[in-house]
Chain A
Amino acid sequence: MYKLLLCVRYLRTKYIALACIISVMLGVATMIVVNSVMAGFATEMRDRLHNFLADIVIESRSMDGIANSKAQMEVVRNAVGDYVEAMTPTVEIPGMITFTDPFSGAPITTLVQIHGIDPEGKALVGPLAGYLDSYNAIIEEGQVIRPPLRSADEPLGWELTTEAAAYREMILREKQQFLPQQSTIPAASTPAATAPTFDETGAPGAIAGAEGTSTLPNIPPDQFAEDVPEDPFGAQMPEGLESPDNGPLRARLYLGEGIVSFQVRDPDTGRMEKMMMVNPGDDVILSTMTSGRPPEVVKFSATVVDTFRSGMNEFDTSIVLMNIDELQRNRGMIAEGVDHITSIHIRLKNYDDAKEVVSRLKAAFPPGQVNIRTWEDKQGLLLAAVEVETAILNVLLFMIIAVAGFGILAIFYMIVVEKTRDIGILKSLGASSTGVMSIFLSYGLGLGIVGSSAGVGLGLLFVTYINEIEDILSWITGRKVFDEKIYYFMEIPTRVSPWMVFFVAAGAISIAVLASVLPALRASRLHPVRALRYE
C-alpha cells in the first residue's frame, strides 16, 4: 500500500517527472500521427491501385494474346466460378499517342499503354465511372463550376456527351473554313480528307501524298475494317480519316488526364491551374503494333470521348482506355471470327479468397501460356516499397521514444539519489528491497501510462484536426504545406488503426518501465544505514 501511496505522491509532487511525461507524450503523439497519415496514404494508394487493377489479372505471356475470349472466360468460370463476381476481357498493348499542343501548335508524341476494354465489363471489376471526367462535377474552392455532364445512372459507353459533340462540330467547321486556303487539297476532296486528326499530325502533305498514291477506293469504314491488316497502306496510313461525316471516329478513347494536361501556376492568383491540351471530341493518332509475326506498326485515328483520373499518377499519365473491338480489329486480333485478348480482369466476391482462386486458376490454364497474379503481386514492388518505408519510419520514430526512455533513466536516477534517505527510512520501518524496488518500477509504469495516455489523446486530436492544422500552418507560413494538386488528395488522408495505437502506447509504457529498472535496482540495493546517513 505504501508503495502505491508513495508512487502517486512522487508523481504528483516531483515536477521533474513532468519532463519525462512530456517526452513520452510527444513521442507517442508523433508516432500516432505519422503512422496514421502513412497508413492513410498507403490505404488510399492501395485502394486506387486495387480499383484500377481488379482483384486478379490473367495475362497472356505473348502480346499476341490468347484466342477466344469467351472460351477462356468459360475456363475461368468452370474453375472458380463460385468466387467470381465479375470478369472482363482486355487487350493491353504499349503504343504511342500523337496529338497537337493547341498552345504551341507543335505535335506531341508520347508513350502510352493502350488498354482495350469493354466499359460496362470494366465498370463491373472496378469503379471506372467514378474516374471519368464527364461523370464528375468540377469543384473549385467549394463551388461547383460545372455539374456532371452525365447522370450517375447512365451506363458507360463510347458516345460523346452533347457538349463534346458540339465542341467537335465547332472545331471541325473552323478547320474546314481554315484549311482550303492553306492546303493544296482540292476542294472536291471529301471532308474527311481534311479531317482534324490529319491536321494534328502536323504533316498534311504526307497524308495528301498517301491519298494520292493510294489505289484504294474510298470505301466506307465498315468494309474497310476487314482489310486493314492485309492492306499494305493500312499500317502506314491513319485510318478513320475517311469518315464520311463529321461524326466521331470508330476508335474511341478515354485518355488518362495526365497524358494530355499539364499544371501551370497562375501568375495572378498563385494557384495551380490544369491546362488540357486535348478535350473530349478531339481526335488523336495512336500507333501500336499488329499481332502478326513479325509485328508491324499500325496507326489509326481515334476520337477522345472522355478523360479519366484515377488518382494514381502512374496510371493517369500512361493509360489510354479504348474500345476493345476496335483495338482488336486494328491489331488484327480477330481471325476467322475468333478474337484474341491479352488479359482477363477478375473481381472476386471476397478478396480473401484470392490465393485460393489464383492456385485453382493456375491449375486450370496451361502453364506456359498465361501469367496469373493478384493485383498485389502485380504491384508488388510499389507496395513493398511503401511497407519498407513505413517500417523504417517506425524504427526511426521509436528511437524518439527510446530517447525519452533514456531521459526517464537519468531523471529517475536523480530522484533515487534525492530519495536516498527516504529509502533508508522505509527500510528501517521494515520495507523490503522488493518493496522499495516496486515503488520505482510502478513510478515508471505510472509515468508511462500518464505520458502514453496524454500522447494518445494528443495524437488522435492532431489526426482528427490534421486538415485544420494544415490550413493554419499554410496561413502562417504563407505557402501550401499540403498541395492537393501534387498528391491528388483533396485532404490529407488518415487512418487510425486501434492496434497501432495500442502497440505504440504499450511500447512507450514498456520503455518507461524498462528505463526505471536500473534506478529501481539501485534504490533497492541501498544499504539502510548508509542511506539514513546520506545528507
Chain B
Amino acid sequence: MAETLKMTTPLIAAEAISKSYIKGSHDVPVLRGAGLRANRGEFISVVGQSGSGKSTLLHVMGLLDAPDIGEVLLQGQRIDNLNQKARDQLRNHVFGFIFQFYHLLPELSLLENVMTPLMIRYSLMGYWKRRREIRESALSMLKQVGLEHRIRHRPSELSGGEMQRGAIARALVGRPEILLADEPTGNLDSGTGGEIMDLLKSLNEENQLTIIMVTHDESIAAQAHRIVRLTQGRIQTIAHEEAA
C-alpha cells in the first residue's frame, strides 16, 4: 500500500514551512522549515509538546494561516498564495476542521450547526433550491455520528463527546477530502476520547478520508497510521505504524 501511494502525488503537502509570530517587540519563531505530506486515505498524527508548532502547522495546511516561508500544495497545486476568495472556497470544499473545544455556534441548534458549511457554500437562492437535500445530508451525517436524537438541542445542552461528534458531523457534511483535527480528544475523558477515535478511524477506513490529527497524547497518536513528531518547529521523526 505504501508503495502505490509513493507513486502518486501526495494529496496535501506542506513544504518547508516557516512561521513566526510577533509577540511584543520580537519575533517568536514557531515553525522552522517543517514539512508534511499526506496521501489520500492516510491517517496521520502530529505530536509534540505545547508550543512545538503542531497547531500552527495544521492551520497553515488548512489555509487558516499563511506561512512566512514555504508552500502548501494540494495535489501538487500551490494553494497558500491563492486569493482570499479561492482560499475561503477551498476551506469550505476541501478541508474539514475539528477543534479541542468543539467550537459549535451556541445560538444554533445541532442540526443548524451541521448545516452551516453548506449554508456558507450556497447563496440564498441556491440554499433555497437545495434546502431538502442539505437537510438530508446533515441528518444522515448526524446519524452516522449517532446523534440523530439530539438534532433540536443547543450545543450547551450536549455533553462533551456529543459536541465533538456534532463537530465531526459539521466538518464532514460538505464532503471534504481532508479532515484537520486539532486535539479532538484533548478535552474529553479517556472513554469518550476513545469513542471519538473509533469514529475517526471508521470514517478513515470506510470513506477513505484523509485525517491529519494534532495531539499531545501518545496513546491517541498511536492509533494513526503514521506519527509525525514536531520539536521546536522541525519535524524530528516519522514513525510508521501499521493501520489496525
B65 at interface by CB-CB < 8 Å: yes
Q: Given A5-B108, A5-B112, A425-B105: A431 and B120 within 8 A (CB)?
A: yes
B127 touches A430 (CB 8 A): no
Q: Identify the interface centre among B93, B103, B174: most chain A CB within 10 Å of its CB.
A: B103
Given A6-B107, A425-B103, A429-B97, A529–B59 Cβ distance below 8 Å? yes
Residues of A within 8 A of B112 (CB): 5
Judge whether A9 is part of the interface by a CB distance below 8 angstroms.
yes
User: Which of A13, A421, A527, A529 contacts B107 (CB under 8 A)?
Assistant: A13
Q: Is A433 an interface residue (CB 8 A)?
A: yes
Other-chain residue from A1, A2, A10, A431 in contact with B88 (beta carbon distance below 8 A): A431
Asked if A185 is at the interface (CB within 8 A of a chain B CB), the reply is no
Segment 105-119 of B: residues with Cβ below 8 Å from A: 105-108, 112, 116-117, 119
Bound complex: CA A271 to CA B44 (Å): 93
Chain A residues contacting B170 (CB-CB under 8 Å) are: 429
Other-chain contact of A6, B62, B90, B105 (Cβ < 8 Å): B105
Pair A428/B108 contact, Cβ less than 8 Å = no
Size of interface on B: residues with Cβ below 8 Å to A: 34
Question: In this assembly, does B239 line the interface, its C-beta being within 8 Å of a C-beta of chain A?
Answer: no
The answer to whether B89 has its CB under 8 Å from any CB of chain A is yes
Chain A residues near B56 (CB-CB < 8 A)? 529
The reply to whether B108 and A430 form a contact with Cβ atoms under 8 Å apart is no
**Which residues from chain B contact A2 at a C-beta distance below 8 Å?**
116, 119-120
Asked whether B105 lies within 8 Å of A427 as measured between CB atoms, the reply is: no
Partner of A430, one of B93, B99, B103, B124: B93
With contacts A10-B107, A422-B105, A429-B92 taken as known, whether A1 is within 8 angstroms of B122 at the C-beta atoms is yes
Q: Would you call the interface of chain A mostly helix, strand, loop, or mixed? A: helix
Query: Complex: how many Å from CA A329 to CA B138?
Result: 100
Return B162 CB to nearest CB of chain A, in Å: 17
Distance A421 CA – B106 CA, assembled complex (angstroms):
11
- Residues of chain B within 8 A (CB-CB) of A435 are 120
Residue among A4, A425, A527 with the highest chain B CB neighbour number at 10 A: A425
Chain B nearest CB: distance from A201 CB in Å?
A: 88
Say if the beta carbon of B84 comes within 8 Å of chain A. Answer: yes
User: Which B residues touch A13, using CB under 8 A?
Assistant: 107
- Whether a CB of chain B sits under 8 angstroms from the CB of A432 is yes
Residues of A within 8 A of B124 (CB): 1, 4
B173: nearest residue on chain A (CB-CB)?
A429
Contact of B117 among A9, A421, A429, A532 (CB under 8 A): A429
CB pair B121–A430 under 8 Å, yes or no, is yes
Contact B89 A421 (CB under 8 A): no
A191 at the interface (CB under 8 A from B): no
Q: Are A430 and B119 in contact (CB-based, < 8 A)?
A: no
- Residue B5 at the chain A interface, CB threshold 8 Å: no
B26 in contact (CB, < 8 A): no
B122: which A residues are within 8 A, CB to CB? 1
Query: Is B85 part of the binding interface, using a Cβ–Cβ cutoff of 8 Å?
Result: yes
A424 closest partner in B (C-beta): B103
CA distance A428 to B99 in the complex (A): 11
Bound Cα distance A154, B97 (Å): 92
Q: Are B64 and A430 in contact (CB under 8 A)?
A: no
Q: Which residue of B lies closest to A431 (CB)?
A: B120
**Residue B150 CB within 8 A of the other chain:** no
Q: Which residue of A lies closest to B96 (CB)?
A: A429
8 Å CB contacts to B: which residues of A390-435?
421-422, 424-433, 435
Instruction: Check if B40 is an interface residue, CB within 8 A of chain A.
Output: no
B91–A428 contact, CB under 8 A? Answer: yes
Contact A432 B99 (CB under 8 A): no
The answer for the CA separation of A433 and B62 in the assembled complex, in Å, is: 17
Query: Is there an interface contact between A432 and B88, defined as CB atoms closer than 8 Å?
Result: yes
A528–B99 CA distance with the chains assembled, in angstroms: 13
Offer 7 A-B interface pairs, CB within 8 angstroms, sorted by A: A2-B119, A9-B108, A422-B106, A429-B91, A430-B88, A430-B117, A528-B64
Task: List A residues at the B interface (Cβ < 8 Å).
Answer: 1-2, 4-6, 9-10, 13, 421-422, 424-433, 435, 527-529, 532
Question: Other than the known A426-B105, A427-B64, A430-B90, what 8 A-B pairs have Cβ atoms closer than 8 Å?
Answer: A5-B119, A421-B103, A430-B91, A430-B93, A430-B120, A430-B121, A527-B65, A528-B65
Closest 9 CB pairs of A and B: A430-B92, A2-B119, A9-B107, A1-B127, A1-B119, A430-B91, A432-B88, A425-B103, A528-B64
